[in-house]
Structure 1
Amino acid sequence: MEITTTSPLTLAVIVASNREGRFGPVIADWFLAHATQHTDFATDVIDLGDPGNELPTALSYDPAPAVRDKLAGLSTRLAAADAFVVLTPEYNHSFPASIKNLIDWHYTEWQAKPVGFVSYGGLSGGLRAVEQLRQVFAEMHAVTVRDTVSFHNARGHFDDEGRHKDPTAPDAAAKTMLDQLAWWGHALRDAKAVRPYGG
């Protein structure tokens, strides 16, 4: 029996940087303008620069009540997501500790779901951070999509109002990545409706 659903996928867009003076919100606003127009998705933004989303770096099987309260909100939102986009800078050839911390506090919330990446940085455009995150998400039983959106020397590509100065190529890259994410999101959601994932 074929089981499919046509309801929009919940796409959690995770803004990974919590660094002071970060450029992430500019990239996030640009990307969300594309994601919110994609008919396959309903978006939920999880900004790790928001103090309400800050988790301690010391993991615990028995967290304090205040940490449990934060986890309750974050975990529920991650569990409700059908797909993720991680928007990450590259720091010292890798990703920021904030995203690894969020990943490590969770496990089942990532399983059998697709993950896409939007990255930014200097000459590498954040791609080294993305390649390392692929390994981390594979360990979490998540599926990363091939195509990414990356911005090399990102600040130089946007004007003072956050508009991309030459949007043709990045607009196309965003569409390709979102289309791949939608395919995997629907395929995995339909598959789990037939047979729950037992990672």
Structure 2
Amino acid sequence: MTRQPKGAKPNVTVSSGKLSVVPGSNKANGVRDKLTYRVEIEQGVSVNPAAVAEAIHKTLTDPRGWQAVHPVSFERTDSDDVDLRIIVATPTLTDKLCLPLDTGGEVSCRVEDRVVLNAKRWMYAVPAYGGDVALYRSYLVNHEVGHALGHGHSTCAKAKTPAPVMMQQTKGLGGCRPNAWPTIKAT
């Protein structure tokens, strides 16, 4: 194993263009309509695949998440027959997988059965989240899966309140506060 120099940033930019399915599964924790998904990660991206899959499932099954507002329960599998493919990819591959959308190497997307999470954002979040990468990751998952559930973009309705999860928070907060959860509303 080659060691990176001290202080080196993990790879999120050198694209192999090849995806690997994260092995394993997590059962749905509800009795509602089951939505199956698998997690795929671009080969060469410096993440722990099992930890990524765990973070995604934890977000999707959190009581503040979509299961609280939609008649759906999420189940992870590593089979080919799934409703959604949740993919963590370099900006280069994200741009390709998101076509015809223009992600400019900066944002994530949902196209057809693909929820594509930009590895750059997964690793480093955005400044508006003040270094809370875990919270931003939950936002990223909930926002893009929200599109798969039929939700469009929204805007900040009232300054200093939680941003709607369907707001494009990666591009700015418009005076709102960071928020990763569809059940948390402006007050």
TM category, shorter: 0.3 to 0.5
Asked which structure has the greater RCO (Cα within 8 Å, sep 6+), the reply is 1
TM-score between the two structures when normalised by the length of structure 1: 0.34
Query: What's the TM-score, normalizing by structure 2?
Result: 0.36
